[in-house]
Chains A and B, each alone.
Chain A
Amino acid sequence: MSPTRPARDRDSQGPEERPVLLRIASFLYLRPSLVLALLLGPPLVWMIVVYLGSLVFLLIQSFFSLDPFTGQVIRVLTLATYKDLWTPANLDIFFRTATMAAVVTVTTAVLAFPLAYFMARYASTRLKTVLYLAVLLPLWSSYLVRVYAWRLILAKEGILNWFIQQLDLTRVLDLLLRAPVIGGPSLSVSFLGMFIVFVYVWLPYMILPVQAALERVPRSLLEASGDLGARPGQTLRHVTLPLAFPGVIAGSIFTFSLTLGDFVVPYSLGNSSFFIGQAVLSLTGTAFNIPLAAAFTVVPMGIMAFYLVGARTLGAFDAL
């Protein structure tokens, strides 16, 4: 029984219609490396030239110095700028910024955990989507606007003070404001105020990785723990928290890094005691000293580099 020979369909396509494009397509199909180069080329060139190049250039700049008389940059490699960096005032700045970053990080972790835990463990799918959006919105929303909102809230005549007056807690507030480090003339010009705002703006960055990490804890582990006799509190301490820890570390990368480099919050709510971000900004302003500014930024970069290495060993990158 001979099979029927089918008609060729290719004849219906005009044979000369797209020979050139087709030839190029066939040519490229057999050369995946060429295609890879074409695809990867533009973005890679952009990132390396524009971004990495700038970073490297910045690093080099920190080894140049500023001629104090002419105000010009002397393109001679030297450690003089780093020596200039090492003043008590500047060390104060580093210390101040790093301490704030650490405190903010811990606070956001503590605040984020209940919400993340609720979302991962108890929320129904619908509620989880709603909560997720509720966290996502402030995250992507204008961070400047959110800082501005707190200027409104913390202002002397603003809503927070109004509440405090209503609740007759003015004396408590005055006490806080008179406190040595965190206090200030008013809430809107104090480290306490800055601390509140930092926590507010970075909180979503901590919630999401922690929630993701908690989400990944299989329920069977928690059930097994209960099955082996642990009370809920013990399960939390011995099973859930250690497994969620990489998520906390991942979130802390953001909160720490963002606080280290920020100038908007200190500018809006701070006084003359600078944070790193403000110092860098001022050095590119009237006191135009790029090498010193570069040296300044090397410090947070270095801190973050160590932090990232440490975070990686603690498993944070899997949680991202």
Chain B
Amino acid sequence: MGGSPPLAVRFDHVSRHFGDVKAVDDLSLDIFDGEFFTFLGPSGSGKTTCLRLLAGFDQPTSGRILLHGRDVTGQPPFEREVNTVFQDYALFPHMSVGDNIAYGLMIRKVEKGERRKRVAEMLDLVRMPGLEQRTPAQLSGGQRQRVALARALILRPRVLLLDEPLGALDLKLRQQMQVELKAIQEKVGITFLYVTHDQEEALTMSDRIAVFNNGRVEQIGSPPELYESPGSRFVADFVGVSNLISGPIAERIRGSAEVFSVRPEKIQIRETDSIAPDGYCSIEGRVKEVIYLGMHTRYVVELDGGGDLTVVEQNREATSMEVLAARGRKVRLVWHPTHNRRLGTAE
């Protein structure tokens, strides 16, 4: 493999201050061409601000933003070659679906026949053929979202920005759209920059994820990297459920009081009298809570030495009754030590 692919976006020591508040704090990151890159983080972490800085709706207090090598920091949004899909879709209510999608082409004075052809192509791509004449008011949430996507994609931007576009949809539709978005991105081949607070969504779709916290990026990596090797307590907690073990219990398990994490699905629940396999970590406790979730069950186990561990097991053979009966029972937790992860930059 030769050098890394060309750079689509570079944030170079970008800061955005609002008086005393540092919405974005000295942020530097690179996004490669063709990636599905996600900004993940809780509300107020700066991820949407960064997206808006890239789109041009806001100007950084300091630092530079480069788009395909060109410094776009001073440019207004209508001069930048990025397009955005907005959280509230921002469709123009007084225009038809077709006119909405063709808006960018109309602005660029593309002639009518060509516009019509490309609009039809886009509607096919987002699987809403033939709906050119409808108005946004006549569409459902999912349909509006696709029109917003088509409207942005038709201009063939080299980077597409998506600001929590699936937030308003119900779960089933959201999951369906996640798959579709990913498929579209792979088909069209452009760089997607996706902003979300939903870690499951990020894990599903992304090539790489940047985890935001308080205006800074805590970790950048692929979904497996983030999940299996969280670099900090925040990432361990935010991306998936995690158990963070420290102090005397950590000492008993690993021989050091340093904090480490272990994912709940890596732990098995056994009877107290069962013997842990060789080399496995083992600890005893009592089941405090059982949460039945259909596909799997989540147990909260109170350890004998104090503290809780969360364990998740698939309901492969057990029925709900059996599972719920476990509450209050004394159990032994075992897991393989390879699943113990030291936090890269602990705390």
Contacts and interface: CB of A to CB of B under 8 A. Distances in A.
The answer to whether any beta carbons of A and B sit under 8 Å apart in the complex is: yes
A3 B189 contact: yes
B76 interface: yes
B155 A9 contact: yes
B79 interface: yes
Interface residues on A, range: 10 to 19
B128 interface: no
A244 B309 CA distance: 55
Interface stretch (B102-110, B133-141, B315-323, B331-339): B102-110
B34 interface: yes
Given A3-B33, A3-B189, A6-B156, A13 B75 contact: no
Contacts of B81: 8, 10
B63 to A, nearest CB: 16
A4 B190 CA distance: 8
B34 A3 contact: yes
A230 interface: no
Nearest to A17: B109
Contact of A10 (B33, B108, B188): B108
A4 B155 CA distance: 14
A12 B107 CA distance: 10
A30 B33 contact: no
Contacts of B188: 3-4
B307 interface: no
B59 interface: yes
Interface in A54-111: none
A141 interface: no
B110 A9 contact: yes
Contacts of B78: 25
B74 interface: yes
Nearest to B157: A6
A29 interface: yes
A255 to B, nearest CB: 40
B208 to A, nearest CB: 16
Interface string B115-155: 00000000000000000000000000000000000000001
Interface residues of B, number: 20
Interface string B71-93: 00011101101000000000000
A2 interface: yes
Contacts of A1: 189
A166 interface: no
B154 to A, nearest CB: 9
Interface string A140-156: 00000000000000000
A175 interface: no
A13 to B, nearest CB: 5
A33 interface: no
A204 B2 CA distance: 79
Contacts of B33: 3
Contacts of A2: 34, 189
Interface in A1-55: 1-4, 6-10, 12-14, 25-26, 29-30
A109 to B, nearest CB: 41
A8 B104 CA distance: 12
Contacts of A13: 108-109
B79 to A, nearest CB: 6
Q: Which 6 A-B pairs have the closest CB atoms?
A: A3-B189, A6-B156, A29-B76, A13-B108, A3-B34, A26-B76
Interface of B: 33-34, 59, 74-76, 78-79, 81, 104-105, 108-110, 155-156, 158, 188-190
24 contacts: A2-B34, A3-B33, A3-B34, A3-B188, A3-B190, A6-B158, A6-B190, A7-B156, A8-B156, A9-B104, A9-B105, A9-B108, A9-B110, A9-B156, A10-B81, A12-B109, A14-B109, A25-B76, A25-B78, A26-B75, A26-B76, A26-B79, A29-B76, A30-B76
